[in-house]
Amino acid sequence: MKDLKNKTIVLTGALGLIGKKLTNYLAINNARVILLDIKSLNEFRKIKEFKLIKNRIFYFKCDVTKLESLKKVLPKMLKISKKIDVLINNAALNDSLERRPNPSLSKFENFPVKYWNQSIKINLNSLFLCSQVFGKEMIKYKQGSIINIASTYGIVGPDQKIYIDKNSKNIFFKNPAYPTSKGAVISFTKYLAAYWGNKGIRVNSISPGGIENNQQKIFIKNYSSKTLLGRMAKVEDLFGTIKLLSSNESSYITGSNIVVDGGWTTI
Ligand SMILES: NC(=O)c1ccc[n+]([C@@H]2O[C@H](COP(=O)([O-])OP(=O)(O)OC[C@H]3O[C@@H](n4cnc5c(N)ncnc54)[C@H](O)[C@@H]3O)[C@@H](O)[C@H]2O)c1
């Protein structure tokens, strides 16, 4: 596969677990990467790996759930590149186990509507608004690829048993808002692929499985045993699919949900 030379890629949630490594990968593959995240410019500056590729990455602090923030940042982005080739909607609120949230609060029976609304807002309003604002730029050139990061939990319900400790007690419950929002990411992808197919815009989603990230050993074991490949994902496992969908070599792929989960959803 050719590299991503001459591609301008907008990546939301760029300073998170996946975003940071993905930025490096895309820039090393010669893309120009415009990073959006709610974190401060200082947070961005602290990331040592970015120093090596700084001529191909551009950071804007932006709340991607707010139309006015996106409108403010857009003209600055267009000064860097008139054309946006790829939009990766990656920002989300992911209530992961490693952040050790309160298990009793994440239980469905107790889950506060406040957290439900927050999750839906970050995971879905951002998807809708970024696609609308940046997609309108893409249709001017009748070409573009939108990649929405979904999750296996958009396909299957969370098996709460993987979150138990050695005494069979849940140390965490995957809350109801995250899977609901990820299912909607996949539906929205199909909506937009159908809507903008005639404008030359391809819209696809990727559903990654859980990424290993210093979680408790018992969880890694529980999770791994549910995959066909016997392990959790690494961020790098997503790169090939993202490169394919960013490049012209996927020119006939639209409306798809590509599952990168080591076989988790197969059985
Ligand atoms: N980590 C996993 O195991 C996993 C598995 C499947 C899918 N995913 C999906 O992959 C994507 C990235 O996940 P991650 O693990 O890197 O998450 P992360 O929490 O590490 O990073 C998310 C980033 O989004 C940013 N963000 C949050 N709200 C924002 C807002 N309003 N405006 C701008 N930026 C905002 C955060 O500051 C953060 O840098 C998410 O869509 C997640 O649901 C992750």
Q: What is the mean pLDDT of residues 154-175?
A: 93
Whether residue 170 is contained in a domain is answered as yes
Going by C-alpha positions, the residue among 156, 252, 154, 159 that lies closest to residue 206 is 154
With residue 201 as reference, give the H or E element that holds it: strand 201-208
Q: What is the DSSP string of 38-102?
A: SS-HHHHHT-GGGGGGGGGEEEEE--TT-HHHHHHHHHHHHHH-S---EEEE-------GGG---
Report the percentage of the chain scoring pLDDT > 70.
98
What's the length of the chain?
267
Q: How many angstroms separate the CA atoms of 100 and 122, rounded?
A: 20
Whether residue 267 is contained in a domain is answered as no
Residue 123, pLDDT score: 98
Whether residue 32 is contained in a domain is answered as yes
Whether residue 134 is contained in a domain is answered as yes
Reply yes or no on whether the pLDDT at 65 is more than 90: yes
Total domains, the chain: 1
Whether residue 2 is contained in a domain is answered as no
Q: How many angstroms separate the CA atoms of 213 and 191, rounded?
A: 33
Whether residue 151 is contained in a domain is answered as yes
Q: From the CB of 4, is ligand 1 less than 6 Å away?
A: no
Assess contact for 262 and 228: CB atoms under 8 A.
Answer: yes
Ligand 1 atom closest to the CA of 210, numbered from 1:
3
CA of 202 to the centre of ligand 1 (A): 22
Tell me the pLDDT tens digit for each residue of 11-38: 999 999 999 999 999 999 999 999 999 9
Q: Is the dihedral of CA 127, 23, 15, 155 positive or negative?
A: positive
Whether residue 22 is contained in a domain is answered as yes
Q: How many angstroms separate the CA atoms of 177 and 191, rounded?
A: 21
Residue 94, pLDDT score: 87
Q: From the CB of 92, is ligand 1 less than 6 Å away?
A: yes
Q: Where residue 23 sits, what CATH number does that domain have?
A: 3.40.50.720
Reply yes or no on whether the pLDDT at 217 is more than 90: yes
Whether residue 266 is contained in a domain is answered as no
Ligand 1 atom closest to the CA of 178, numbered from 1:
43
Full residue range of the structural domain in which residue 175 is found: 8-260
CA of 198 to the centre of ligand 1 (A): 30
The partner residues of 11 in beta bridges, in order of sequence, read 35, 88
Reply yes or no on whether the pLDDT at 99 is more than 80: no
